[in-house]
Every structure is written in structure tokens, then in C-alpha cells.
């Protein structure tokens, strides 16, 4: 079983729409969670960390559900510039501080 699983999409949404991605992780001992964004032919860049109580950064909201072992990312009022692949990342210090990446969810925001 993969450490991190994501729906690869693609998600095609109109400008202004709200879109949500989920990601599940297999190791209940995982401690740190992140969302990264990767543009075509570029390196992944940190979008936001995910905190236990949930957190918001502008139009982006991240949530963690430890009981069900999933994290989510909500994007409100989608912009064309939000088009990218969104990677879910889980860190587990118990496995030597390894970071586990999902394969990514592709988002295209359409004019």
C-alpha cells in the first residue's frame, strides 16, 4: 500500500470556482503534513503546511483529519494562475524523517 494516495484528476474548473482535493496517508504515526504546488517542468514549491486545527492562507484552506488519516486542500475563487499539480506530502520522523509524496492532483482553471 502506498504511503500517500491522491486522486490524480485532472480537475478542470472555471475561474471563480471552489475546488477541493483530498489525500489519504497510510501511517497513523505520521507527524507533519504539507501541500506543495508543481508547475509544468518546474520543481515542487511549498504551498502550505497543514496544522492539526486546520489553517488558511488567503484563498487556500488546509485541513487534517487524523482519525480518518486524510488531509484536504480547498481553493476558493480559483484563478487561472492556480493551474498546476498539487502534491500532498507526509513526514514521519519514525521512519528516519522521510518525506512521502503523493503522485499529485492536476488542476486546470479554465477562463
Partner 1 sequence: GAGVSQSPSNKVTEKGKDVELRCDPISGHTALYWYRQSLGQGLEFLIYFQGNSAPDKSGLPSDRFSAERTGGSVSTLTIQRTQQEDSAVYLCASSLGNQPQHFGDGTRLSIL
Residue 5 or 13: the one with the smaller Cβ distance to partner 1 is 5
Give the one residue of 22, 27, 49, 69 binding partner 1; rule: CB under 8 A: 49
Closest alpha carbon to 60 in 44, 70, 46: 46
How far, in Å, are 14, 49, 64 from residue 61 at the CA level? 19, 10, 10
Q: Which stretch binds partner 1 (CB under 8 A): 44-52, 54-62, 66-74, 75-83?
A: 44-52
Minimum Å gap between C-beta 18 and partner 1 is: 25
Indicate whether 50 belongs to the interface with partner 1 (CB under 8 A): no
Indicate whether 97 belongs to the interface with partner 1 (CB under 8 A): yes
Closest alpha carbon to 64 in 48, 53, 56, 49: 53
Amino acid at each position: 500500500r502506498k504511503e500517500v494516495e491522491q486522486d490524480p484528476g485532472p480537475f478542470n474548473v472555471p475561474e471563480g470556482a471552489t475546488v477541493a482535493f483530498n489525500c489519504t496517508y497510510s501511517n497513523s504515526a505520521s507527524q507533519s503534513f504539507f501541500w506543495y504546488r508543481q508547475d509544468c517542468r518546474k520543481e515542487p514549491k511549498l504551498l502550505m503546511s497543514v496544522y492539526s486545527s486546520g489553517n488558511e492562507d488567503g484563498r487556500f484552506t488546509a485541513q487534517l483529519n487524523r482519525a480518518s488519516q486524510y488531509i484536504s486542500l480547498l481553493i476558493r475563487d480559483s484563478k487561472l494562475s492556480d493551474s498546476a499539480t498539487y502534491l500532498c506530502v507526509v513526514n514521519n520522523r519514525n521512519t528516519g524523517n522521510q518525506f512521502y509524496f503523493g503522485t499529485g492532483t492536476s488542476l486546470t482553471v479554465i477562463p
